[in-house]
Structure 1
């Protein structure tokens, strides 16, 4: 039985993984710990095989007053937890980074492949990238470091842009038909990927994503369909949206292009439990 400690008691990804692993009660023992105070430093990590580190600040902020906190939590805390894990004999450290290390989406097609260099566009992305660099130095045969850079994660209970799109799909009769592409991953697919990382004792950098790229208007249509609603997709608003793509970070997050080359996300075992339509049906119902 693998013993796993999840950092971040109220983390969406952490609680989702804990629930997912409950489907295998004889294979995994899971504990969670809060890092909000320094009490975690007194905890005994030696009894765990794996630390799944998801504690951190998860959303982009442009407030310069927040910058120091982002580096303190996302970079410094991550490295400190990894160092304690290694010192106390933990075998594997899994860190949730993000596609955000590559910057924002763009109005034109933006494909991230194995040769793409991270260029964070804000201190959230930079704090994640610096955390990656700090913990990679700790990786060796006895302490395996896994870094995950997932795209947007969605699922039942998730916050962020998906929730906003779902509200639109339930209310508005029309939606702009912009031909964009985004990489995304359903939380169940991500949790299965993490489970395989644990089972196979992996180390390295990984880019899990759903097989299908997502066109925002198609996602909205499928959300509406799951509620037995028809929504009209129209190109009438496209000129206005395209202007907004150049000027608004919010519109860019919704209609911009940002995808991983599918080859980056291949793994020796299948982790895609749900396709896009099934993912949305499960999320909405």
Structure 2
């Protein structure tokens, strides 16, 4: 099967190419280096659009988010549909729902995005779905935080903290957060490609973790002795001084993707413990 893949040099794209080059003929495409007008799509069955301007980049204008996350996605989708491509897969985010919530998000939860990243991803989803018909399948995958070998941003920072600090004030946190190991996400992507199913799908590991549980699993995988304490005023001070950081550490954001698993007859191939161990080992499975 011939595929076009954007974001091929990114975290997810690199993993997907390494793991599935034996199964698919993957043609990378970059909006930075290539021209969509001259993109060769003959005999291509599926386009996978991973590239995006994400919220971690910070400082980007609303116009930049609109251009990358909406305009480029639609430009590529129109090109694909006009040339007989059968499926367009769009990698989205749980940020379309909004921010932290005590209730788990599902595939059908209402969306109230709170930042430019979430708003533009949701807009792209909605516009792409308008292109779907019996000859052009649009598949959308919403992901929580993706982790694995080579991960950057908050997960990488947390691992560095565990490496350097024998004591952390993050004990006894009873929130829940959903994550997805990159091996599970790409297995879901493979399933959606092979079944060519349309709709909105949610990625996620089988269990959610509290911040404390995540730190303990990371420390165990790293074979680091770590003492977690719960200072009485730490959470209050952090909430006042760094509210966004407080939310990520102390509040909940979970997904319930049972509908996705049932509709695709899909099972995650890796447990969270296995995924964390592989990430820490720097192993691509």
TM-score, normalised by the number of residues in structure 1: 0.91
Task: Provide Cα deviations, 1:78-122, integer angstroms capped at 9, x if missing partner.
Answer: 11111111001100000001001112225xx24213552111111
> Which of residues 63, 74, 80 is equivalent to 2:75?
80
- The CA deviation at 1:198 is 0.7
> Which of residues 8, 27, 49 is equivalent to 1:31?
27
1:150 matches 2:143: yes
Paired position in structure 1 for 2:190: 195
Q: CA RMSD in A?
A: 1.8
Task: Provide Cα deviations, 1:159-217, integer angstroms capped at 9, x if missing partner.
Answer: 12111111112121223121110111000000000000011111110001000101111
Aligned length: 277
* 2: CA distance, partners of 1:141 / 1:160: 39
> Which of residues 244, 250, 272 is equivalent to 2:245?
250
* 2: CA distance, partners of 1:114 / 1:85: 25
- The CA deviation at 1:10 is 1.8
* 2: CA distance, partners of 1:61 / 1:117: 26
Structure 1 residues not aligned, in runs of 5+ = none
Paired position in structure 2 for 1:228: 223
1:17 matches 2:16: yes
> Which of residues 52, 55, 80 is equivalent to 1:56?
52
1:279 matches 2:278: no
Structure 2 residues not aligned, in runs of 5+ = none
> Which of residues 4, 27, 36 is equivalent to 1:40?
36
SS at match of 2:85: coil
Paired position in structure 1 for 2:114: 121
